[in-house]
Each structure stands twice: as C-alpha cells, then as structure tokens.
C-alpha cells in the first residue's frame, strides 16, 4: 500500500494498513498469486465487503513485501 502511494497513485489506505477499511483493494496479476502469502481470514472478510471482488483481489496493506516480489503487477481495485 505504501509503495503504491509513494508512486503517487490514488491509494487511500484510510486505516493505515490495519486491514479495517478496504481502501487499498488491488487485483494481483494471476502469475504473481503463487508468490504471495495467502490472505488471512481477517483480510478475506474485509474483501468480502467490497463492491467488486475477483479471485485475485487482495488488500495491498496485507501483502508482505519481499525482494521476490520486485516487479509485482497489480491493478487498483474499486473501493466504493
């Protein structure tokens, strides 16, 4: 989430990364999904409250950044 905001893209992240608002919703490119840690129940519950959810929906605040994710491709998701 912070990396997206640092690049000046429209990412709210209202809750500051606490997995409470869903305003950092993204769609992860399918080829990157196996490289991510699975979403925890808390994240899945928050995603379920969003208006448009896809199998590759994630909250960017919950993705643990590792060097292996360099080049990660995402699309910003709708939040409201």
Distance CA 19, CA 73 (A): 21
Q: Which residues of 33-57 are buried (b: 16+ CB within 10 A; e: fewer)?
A: eeebeebeeebeebbeebeebeebb
**In which band, very low, low, confident or very high, does the pLDDT at 78 lie, cut at 50, 70 and 90?**
confident
Which parts of the chain are beta strand (E)?
A: 25-28, 57-59, 74-76
What top-level class would CATH report for the domain 2-76? alpha beta
Q: Is the pTM of this model over 0.85?
A: yes
Answer yes or no: is pLDDT of 20 > 80: yes
Q: Name the DSSP class of 19.
A: S
| pLDDT at residue 38, as a whole number | 94
Tokens linked to 76: 């910003």
């Amino acid at each position: 989430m912070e990396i997206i905001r640092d690049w000046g893209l429209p990412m709210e992240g209202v809750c500051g990364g606490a997995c409470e608002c869903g305003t950092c919703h993204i769609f992860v490119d399918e080829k990157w999904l196996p490289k991510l840690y699975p979403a925890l129940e808390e994240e899945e519950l928050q995603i379920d409250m969003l208006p448009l959810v896809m199998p590759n929906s994630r909250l960017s605040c919950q993705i643990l950044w590792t060097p292996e994710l360099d080049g990660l491709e995402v699309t910003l998701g709708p939040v409201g």
